[in-house]
Structure 1
Amino acid sequence: MSRPREDRAGGTGSPVRPGSVARHTDDPAAGPARHFGAVHRMPGWLKIGTAVVSLLLVGVLAFGAYWAIRLQGNISKAALGAGGDKTEGALDDSRDRMQILILGSDTRDGKNAQYGTSDDATGYGHSDVMMLMDISEDNKRVSVVSFPRDLLVDTPKCTDQESKQEFPAQKNVMINAAMSEAGIGCAVDTVNKLTGLEIDHFMMADFNAVKELSNTVGGVDVCISDAVYDPDSQLRLPKGTSAVQGEQALAFLRARHAFVDGGDLGRIKAQQAFLSSLTRKLKDDGTMSNPGKMLEIADVVTKNLTIDEGLASIPTLLTVGNRLKNIDVGKVAFVAVPTVPAVSDPNRLQVAEPAASQLFAAMRKDIDLTDPTATPSPSASPDASASPSPEPTPSETATAYDKTVQPITVANGSGAPARTQEIIQALTAGGFTQLAQLAAGPVATTAVYYGAGYGDVAADVATLLGIPAAQVLPAAGVTGVQVYLGSDRVGGTPGGDAPVELPSDIVNQTAGDVVCQQANPSLIVR
């Protein structure tokens, strides 16, 4: 076995540090020992660049964290319901059909004190604005349905989710009072009861939100037929198009007397025109794709917003916003629930039948209100538009109720008066004896409407008369069962599963329409 040589010049001892080599050589040009490699110093420009990138990265992360914390901290939350039954499963906010109830509160707290005293908004306040936004599953269309605040409805039993106090169901009360005792959840449950839908989320904003949002976007264009001044809302506008913001934007949305005949329906159309104009502005200005502007808007909105727990996170709100940004403005339909003066109080409204039930049925079936004949999206699940309650089905072997005490009315809109007696005779032969007649306007399609608890009776009546199941519809304003005869019954029994019929003027406007409001003649100024 050979040993290592002891020749120090050849070197088998401990490695020599590079600095030592340079120090002990006679050649000043000699560098470190070659088997250690050269020492590389980082160029100054690279050090500076690395530091700048690091600072930028830290800044971006800190900026994102700051805004996430700030926006999240802005949000106020409340319960989605007030004790009503929930039948639908968990919602995927990024891809499922979604219904959001949008409320404008008349609260006079804090920054809103200038609009009245706390006595003007008892309890949780009233919903000055109530709109149901329905986003389709394929993100290609949106329906925005307005409910007049003077609409008389039946409210369900509601429980205040904070105090746990229970409030009994009420009949024939204004819909804007639904949340005044038991909170926003009661308004949600009331709309669910009225429409047969199951609302997924809600958003409630106060007066201040409108002012600050309109200022942030630089004003919203509105149009009116004549110069007008409304002393109640302090709205003053010249004839034609004006950009409103701040107090004037709020006055435009709150004005009750400035438009048409001074009623709530004129105000709804003005609100829809304002939202249409705002939608066009956000899309035309590229705001939806401008992160800086969107942060500014998000900050303003979230400061004045109360939403449900399921929606109360910045990522979820961004998801919903992302679903809306590419929708064609021509497929954003603004609708008002069909109404007529209430029988109990002509200064109030009640749903107009059959138009209201037709609208709610179309919504449950996820029909495109701008084109009711269009084929529903193939991506929609089979039960996506089902009513919260099971479809009424005929009794099978034995009737679970006494036919002789079931209240049934016949409303003849067929244009053939003799059809009333024919239907009454058919119902009597089928065992139904508590029958009445109602005056009715002309309609094309026959339908059977039923009130709460009468779904089985309605199904049996429809089977007896040969009316398709698709034309058996729940209706909040009906007690018992109502057979509403259309012109399709004149020539005999209609065949097939007829589609839901909608009034031709059900859509007030789309977001792509520029609509000029008609001024109330009594408030026109020269």
Structure 2
Amino acid sequence: MARPRPDRADGIQPPVRSAGAARHSDDPAVGPARHLGAPRRLPAWLKIGTAVVSVLLVGVLAFGAYWVIRLQGNISKASLSAGSSKTEGAVNDSNDRMQILILGSDTRDGKNAQYGTADDSTGYGHSDVMMLMDISADNKRVNVVSFPRDLLVDIPKCTDQKTKTVYPAQKNVMINAAMSEAGIGCAVDTVNKITGLEIDHFMMADFNAVKELSNAVGGVDVCISDPVYDPDSKLRLPKGTSKVQGEQALAFVRTRHAFGDGGDLGRVQAQQSFLSSLTRKIKADGTLTNPSRMLGIADAITKNLTIDDGLASIPTLLTVGNRLKDIDVGKVAFVAVPTVPAAADPNRLQLAEPGASQLFAAMRKNVDLTDPTATPGGSADPSASPAPAPAETAPAYDKTLQPVAVANGSGVPARTQEILQSLTAGGFTQLAQLAAKPVATTGVYYGAGFADVAADVAALLGIPASQVLPAAGVTGVQVYLGSDLVGGTATGDAQVALPPDIVNQTAGDTVCQQANPELITR
């Protein structure tokens, strides 16, 4: 016969509560819940698994935090501008068209002291490399446009954003000196002035960045037509393909005499070939999708990198890098700004017209330089029906006899040739250029009897009818360009003409550099 439990309720008095149950309620009348009882122990394997997962999670978080702090601490920052005003809003780093000015500094400070004294790079230093990287909004193509260091340009008035020192505008100055006084922002302002674009970001690396990056990827393949030795840069390479890294990689991109005729254009082509090969290697090795390799490259780059405030965060840099990982190497176009020997100094270069203006107009219109017939932002849709051509009415005058003058007050000298080219293509051949003061608003002015001609000129250039005005003292038609047309499209939706050889190579091309005959060794 089973013995009754001494604490069992008799139906009249409330049951006696255990100490464990008392902890669950302040009401003494509430008895223990039926499910309460001795706690069940977790299996040992579950305890161990939970501990391991916890340790791994903490380790991953600590590892990620370490690298973010380390990489962020590597970065140096500088202002994007040297005083110029920006008319465009900030870009979305993930899906807007983005333009980044890439600079290679010749500074001899710190780890770069072995390449010369501080006197060899005055002020903020000079830019041995200047390339404008233009990433399309759809992340399907990249244009990389090189500006030779010996190119003579007009540098605008610039203000050092650290010291607030104002430096006056300069004429016919080598473009590599644009940042030497007022800083990197002055180089950005100078390229904006030349091209009519508004650059979104910049990245500037020093000598050491090339060495460490080439080491991080295990070397970069380069090709040369003949064995060469340059005593200045110490570049020594045999004929054919070689793998360069460290000091030899730096010598390859720095040499001024080893390629072509020993001038700056041979150097630009060698730098483009180096970057093409580097792009192919990174893509082939799967580096952009390999976190371990990416961290090594990011560490090598950020230790030697100066960037603008808008780009100066690790998440932003990773976002930009992620945009490049799936681009077809055949859609990474390397271009050199068209140049000719300068009239003021045959040892220097000046922009070649109309090629330079055509290139800058194409860039403002977001043209795919590898396929100028494609629609901006991506490839042309072959299934799309062409828009019907507007009906044209023949003008009641002979275009070839109408006097049209162009006065460029936009602040962008290259716009003059672009406008003249557009007018010529539109049938106007009696053209002239006038001196102009800077103005904000573009206008088309006409004399008595030329209202219809002025209207046709404005329509050709995409200038609103409200800006076509009669003016006493004007003979014929005068197009006065203002800064409002700098980033605009002068010829509406008309296709931009481009020199047929504007693209030097794509990242998919393997190009051997022609050795300078004077430095070939046997």
Partner of 1:406: none
Supply the AA of the counterpart residue of 1:504.
P
What is the rounded CA distance, in whole Å, between the counterparts of 1:105 and 1:75 in structure 2? 15
What is the rounded CA distance, in whole Å, between the counterparts of 1:499 and 1:508 in structure 2? 21
Partner of 2:403: 427
Partner of 1:521: 517
Spell out the pairing of 1:416-495 with structure 2 (5 A cutoff).
Answer: 426-427=402-403, 446=424, 453=437
Supply the AA of the counterpart residue of 1:173.
V
What is the rounded CA distance, in whole Å, between the counterparts of 1:56 and 1:506 in structure 2? 53
Supply the AA of the counterpart residue of 1:252.
F
1:190 correspondence with 2:184: no
CA contact under 8 A between 1:192 and 1:199: conserved in structure 2?
A: yes
Supply the AA of the counterpart residue of 1:522.
E
CA contact under 8 A between 2:138 and 2:378: conserved in structure 1?
A: no
What is the rounded CA distance, in whole Å, between the counterparts of 1:265 and 1:58 in structure 2? 53
What is the rounded CA distance, in whole Å, between the counterparts of 1:451 and 1:379 in structure 2? 41
CA contact under 8 A between 1:18 and 1:33: conserved in structure 2?
A: no
Gaps (5+ residues) in structure 1?
1-6, 20-31, 381-418, 433-442, 474-480, 483-494
The 1:138/1:153 distance shift into structure 2, 3 A limit, reads same
Post-superposition CA distance 1:262-293 (Å, at most 9, x none): 01001000000000000000000000000011
What is the rounded CA distance, in whole Å, between the counterparts of 1:431 and 1:88 in structure 2? 27
The 1:244/1:460 distance shift into structure 2, 3 A limit, reads farther
SS in 2 for 1:36: coil
Gaps (5+ residues) in structure 2?
1-5, 22-31, 381-397, 408-420, 426-430, 464-477, 480-490
SS in 2 for 1:518: coil
Partner of 1:54: 54
SS in 1 for 2:335: strand
Q: CA deviation at 1:90?
A: 2.0
SS in 1 for 2:307: strand
CA contact under 8 A between 1:222 and 1:243: conserved in structure 2?
A: yes
Supply the AA of the counterpart residue of 2:505.
Q
CA contact under 8 A between 2:140 and 2:328: conserved in structure 1?
A: yes
Pick one of 484, 491, 502 that aligns with 1:506: 502
Spell out the pairing of 1:4-15 with structure 2 (5 A cutoff).
Answer: 10-11=9-10, 12-15=14-17
The 1:459/1:268 distance shift into structure 2, 3 A limit, reads farther
Supply the AA of the counterpart residue of 1:517.
Q
Partner of 1:24: none
Partner of 1:489: none
What is the rounded CA distance, in whole Å, between the counterparts of 2:7 and 2:77 in structure 1? 82
Partner of 2:488: none
The 1:156/1:18 distance shift into structure 2, 3 A limit, reads closer
CA contact under 8 A between 1:145 and 1:334: conserved in structure 2?
A: yes
CA contact under 8 A between 2:158 and 2:166: conserved in structure 1?
A: yes
Partner of 1:95: 95
CA contact under 8 A between 2:139 and 2:323: conserved in structure 1?
A: yes
What is the rounded CA distance, in whole Å, between the counterparts of 2:33 and 2:493 in structure 1? 94
SS in 1 for 2:82: coil
Post-superposition CA distance 1:131-153 (Å, at most 9, x none): 00000111111000000000000
Supply the AA of the counterpart residue of 1:60.
V
What is the rounded CA distance, in whole Å, between the counterparts of 2:46 and 2:81 in structure 1? 59
Partner of 2:75: 75
CA contact under 8 A between 1:138 and 1:379: conserved in structure 2?
A: no
Supply the AA of the counterpart residue of 2:210.
V
Partner of 1:347: 347
Q: CA deviation at 1:9?
A: 5.1
Q: CA deviation at 1:431?
A: 12
Q: CA deviation at 1:85?
A: 1.5
Partner of 1:148: 148
Q: Which moved more, 1:37-46 or 1:446-455?
A: 446-455
SS in 1 for 2:242: strand
Matched residue pairs, number? 439
Q: CA deviation at 1:37?
A: 3.6
RMSD: 3.3
The 1:465/1:46 distance shift into structure 2, 3 A limit, reads closer
The 1:159/1:426 distance shift into structure 2, 3 A limit, reads same
SS in 2 for 1:203: strand
Q: CA deviation at 1:36?
A: 3.3
Spell out the pairing of 1:303-452 with structure 2 (5 A cutoff).
Answer: 303-377=303-377, 426-427=402-403, 446=424
Q: CA deviation at 1:93?
A: 1.1
CA contact under 8 A between 1:179 and 1:185: conserved in structure 2?
A: yes
Post-superposition CA distance 1:11-47 (Å, at most 9, x none): 543124689xxxxxxxxxxxx9976345311122211
What is the rounded CA distance, in whole Å, between the counterparts of 1:431 and 1:286 in structure 2? 52
Supply the AA of the counterpart residue of 1:508.
N
CA contact under 8 A between 2:81 and 2:186: conserved in structure 1?
A: yes
Supply the AA of the counterpart residue of 2:403.
L
The 1:297/1:164 distance shift into structure 2, 3 A limit, reads same
What is the rounded CA distance, in whole Å, between the counterparts of 1:39 and 1:88 in structure 2? 66
Partner of 1:108: 108
Q: CA deviation at 1:498?
A: 3.6
Partner of 1:223: 223
Supply the AA of the counterpart residue of 1:446.
T
The 1:472/1:452 distance shift into structure 2, 3 A limit, reads farther
Post-superposition CA distance 1:477-508 (Å, at most 9, x none): xxxx99xxxxxxxxxxxx99642100000000
Partner of 1:124: 124
What is the rounded CA distance, in whole Å, between the counterparts of 2:229 and 2:172 in structure 1? 34
SS in 1 for 2:130: strand
Post-superposition CA distance 1:236-287 (Å, at most 9, x none): 0000000100000000000111001001001000000000000000000000
What is the rounded CA distance, in whole Å, between the counterparts of 1:238 and 1:510 in structure 2? 24
TM value normalised by structure 2 = 0.78
TM value normalised by structure 1 = 0.77
Q: Which moved more, 1:43-52 or 1:504-513?
A: 43-52
CA contact under 8 A between 1:261 and 1:520: conserved in structure 2?
A: yes
Q: CA deviation at 1:207?
A: 0.1
Supply the AA of the counterpart residue of 2:504.
N
SS in 1 for 2:340: strand
Q: Which moved more, 1:43-52 or 1:189-198?
A: 43-52
What is the rounded CA distance, in whole Å, between the counterparts of 1:472 and 1:258 in structure 2? 47
The 1:451/1:341 distance shift into structure 2, 3 A limit, reads farther
Partner of 1:136: 136
Supply the AA of the counterpart residue of 2:97.
R
CA contact under 8 A between 1:152 and 1:350: conserved in structure 2?
A: yes
The 1:229/1:471 distance shift into structure 2, 3 A limit, reads farther
The 1:15/1:466 distance shift into structure 2, 3 A limit, reads closer
